[in-house]
């Protein structure tokens, strides 16, 4: 008995010894946590695995756990933490990219993070790397999955940049690559359906309704269920209904889409759906329902804007570090100057020009990059006209941010102005002609003149007064 007591601590330690096989088994088991939406538990489990892997110097376990953590924080829209773990993985394991799948996974997560903070150029760069890396994958189905996933994400990034030709190019390339694969492989079938629906969304933004319907029809014909992400179909179908003035049908589709988007926890698309359904209710004259969804839109939009601002502020320094990575070996002092430049471009220019005259050519190139980055951090007032032309659902919100006094002054004159009337006034303020307004709002030009006359009566504007000048003056007075 005494011998057993003496040996007990050693027996206990022997039982608790962790092996690579134990870690691999745990990694397999915890995948179910993220699938079932238990993200916090998934993070806790991977932190434990990361520590255990480091303790036994099992680099493969450390890499997998770190990638899992980066993925989980990306899912939570915590982009800084996600990028932190990606860089931690790179810093602690020099051979991390010996396995090309690790690099592909890291590139995908980097692109998702950059997309989340609207750094589209950086996201596009990572995705194009994945297309090249996919060519080295031997298994045909895996290669096609990686390649087409990158193409779909490229199309999404180009769509957000409003580069619709490029978005169409990559969308069609993905579809061409996946032809005939929907039965062979369910994952490739999912990619094909998403590619078709994404392309339908691009055509809708271009106001090509026939093409939109064509790609939706192809997507719906596939024997593939996207689960909660089927909200994409209902959103697109509702937008088509609205373009044809079938507002009751649009509302039915939007409601279905909202239900699924809420379950999918896709706040960005939910925001669009709130705006779209509010506009549809306005068209049918149901002001109470319009107000209900506008309130939801405003509340969610404020939350998203706050998150975006925080993420952008926290992540910009990490972005600058990555862009300047090739310079570290050549000129570390210059790297620090450029990082500092992200906080104050003028300080960066004056400091570097004075201190590093022999690097003028390099400074010119990097100074241009920092100017572009600095512009992304400022309020982009010049985008508002383009948003109006593209019938962007966030147009009203952005307009009010740029001209905060305009709507309150109109409502002071006529408190009963509807949201659609306020939007009409905004288009007049932006100096859009009747023909332009008709084109962008999908109505006949003669209807615009009727709306102008009604607006004059509502706001007591005399027939001899220029309506456009009146709109400009009310904002400045």
> Does 215 lie in the same domain as 254?
no
> Does 239 lie in the same domain as 217?
no
pLDDT bucket at 39, cuts 50 / 70 / 90: confident
Whether residue 302 has pLDDT greater than 50: yes
pLDDT bucket at 13, cuts 50 / 70 / 90: very low
Q: What is the CATH number of the domain that holds 85?
A: 1.25.40
Q: What is the CATH number of the domain that holds 419?
A: 1.10.10
pLDDT bucket at 128, cuts 50 / 70 / 90: very high
The answer to the question of residue 187 being in a domain is yes
d(CA 90, CA 268): 31
> Does 127 lie in the same domain as 93?
no
Whether residue 338 has pLDDT greater than 80: no
Burial pattern 259-293, b for ≥16 Cβ within 10 A else e, equals ebbeebebbebbbbbbbbbbbbbbeeeeeebbeeb
Supply the DSSP symbol for 423: H
**More confident site: 132 or 336:** 132
CB of 224 closer than 8 Å to CB of 192: yes
> Does 78 lie in the same domain as 142?
no
> Does 128 lie in the same domain as 93?
no
The answer to the question of residue 409 being in a domain is yes
Prediction pTM value: 0.62
| Number of compact structural domains in the chain | 5
Q: Domain range spanning residue 134?
A: 121-224
The runs of H, that is alpha helices, within 324-433 are 332-343, 345-355, 360-377, 383-389, 395-402, 406-413, 419-429
> Does 136 lie in the same domain as 188?
yes
The answer to the question of residue 439 being in a domain is yes
Whether residue 153 has pLDDT greater than 90: yes
The answer to the question of residue 116 being in a domain is no
The answer to the question of residue 315 being in a domain is no
Q: Pick from 106, 25, 94, 28: which is nearest to 66 by CA?
A: 106
d(CA 107, CA 445): 48
**More confident site: 393 or 367:** 393
Q: Compute CA distances 397 → 305, 360, 377, 393, 423, whole Å.
A: 11, 42, 18, 8, 10
Whether residue 337 has pLDDT greater than 60: no
Domain end marker among 199, 224, 249: 224
pLDDT tens-digit profile of 48-94? 988 988 888 888 888 888 999 999 888 888 888 898 888 888 877 77
> Does 344 lie in the same domain as 255?
no
Q: How far is CA 407 from the centre of its chain?
A: 29
> Does 238 lie in the same domain as 220?
no
The answer to the question of residue 202 being in a domain is yes
Whether residue 293 has pLDDT greater than 80: yes
> Does 240 lie in the same domain as 201?
no
Q: What is the CATH number of the domain that holds 276?
A: 1.25.40.10
One DSSP character per residue, 43-101 reads: HHHHHHHHHHHHHTT-HHHHHHHHHHHHHHHHHTT-HHHHHHHHHHHHHH-TTGGGSHH
> Does 290 lie in the same domain as 242?
yes
The answer to the question of residue 127 being in a domain is yes
Q: What was the pLDDT predicted at 241?
A: 94
pLDDT bucket at 33, cuts 50 / 70 / 90: confident
């Amino acid at each position: 008995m005494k011998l057993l007591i003496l040996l007990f601590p050693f027996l206990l330690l022997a039982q608790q010894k962790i092996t690579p096989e134990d870690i691999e088994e745990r990694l397999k088991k915890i995948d179910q946590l993220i699938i079932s939406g238990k993200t916090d538990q998934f993070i806790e489990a991977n932190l434990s695995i990361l520590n255990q892997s480091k303790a036994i110097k099992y680099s493969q376990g450390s890499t997998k756990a770190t990638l899992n953590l980066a993925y989980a924080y990306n899912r939570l829209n915590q982009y800084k933490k996600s990028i932190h773990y990606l860089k931690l993985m790179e810093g602690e394991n020099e051979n991390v990219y010996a396995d090309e799948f690790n690099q592909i996974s890291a590139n995908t997560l980097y692109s998702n993070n950059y997309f989340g903070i609207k750094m589209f150029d950086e996201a596009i760069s990572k995705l194009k790397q994945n297309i090249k890396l996919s060519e080295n994958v031997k298994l045909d189905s895996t290669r096609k999955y990686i390649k087409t996933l990158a193409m779909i994400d490229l199309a999404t990034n180009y769509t957000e940049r409003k580069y619709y030709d490029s978005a169409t190019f990559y969308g069609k390339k993905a579809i061409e690559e996946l032809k005939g694969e929907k039965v062979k492989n369910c994952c490739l079938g999912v990619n094909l359906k998403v590619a078709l629906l994404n392309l339908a969304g691009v055509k809708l933004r271009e106001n090509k309704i026939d093409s939109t319907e064509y790609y939706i029809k192809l997507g719906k014909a596939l024997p593939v269920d996207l689960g909660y992400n089927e909200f994409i179909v209902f959103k697109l179908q509702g937008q088509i209904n609205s373009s044809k003035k079938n507002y009751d049908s649009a509302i039915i589709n939007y409601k279905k889409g909202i239900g699924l988007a809420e379950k999918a926890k896709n706040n960005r698309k939910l925001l669009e759906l709130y705006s779209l359904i509010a506009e549809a209710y306005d068209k049918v004259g149901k002001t109470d329902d319009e107000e209900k969804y506008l309130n939801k839109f405003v509340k969610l939009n404020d939350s998203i804007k706050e998150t975006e601002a925080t993420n952008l502020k926290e992540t910009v320094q990490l972005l600058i570090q990555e862009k300047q990575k090739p310079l570290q070996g050549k000129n570390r002092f210059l790297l620090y100057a450029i990082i500092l430049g992200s906080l104050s471009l003028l300080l960066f220019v004056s400091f570097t020009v004075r201190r590093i005259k022999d690097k003028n050519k390099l400074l010119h190139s990097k100074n241009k990059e920092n100017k572009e980055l600095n512009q992304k951090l400022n309020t982009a007032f010049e985008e508002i006209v383009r948003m109006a032309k593209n019938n962007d659902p966030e147009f009203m919100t952005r307009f009010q941010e740029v001209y905060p006094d305009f709507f309150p002054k109109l409502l002071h004159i006529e408190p009963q102005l509807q949201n659609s009337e306020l939007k009409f006034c905004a288009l007049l303020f932006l100096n859009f002609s009747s023909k332009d307004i008709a084109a962008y709002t999908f109505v006949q030009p003669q209807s615009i003149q009727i709306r102008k006359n009604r607006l004059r009566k509502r706001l007591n504007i005399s027939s001899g007064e220029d309506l456009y000048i009146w709109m400009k003056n009310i904002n400045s007075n």
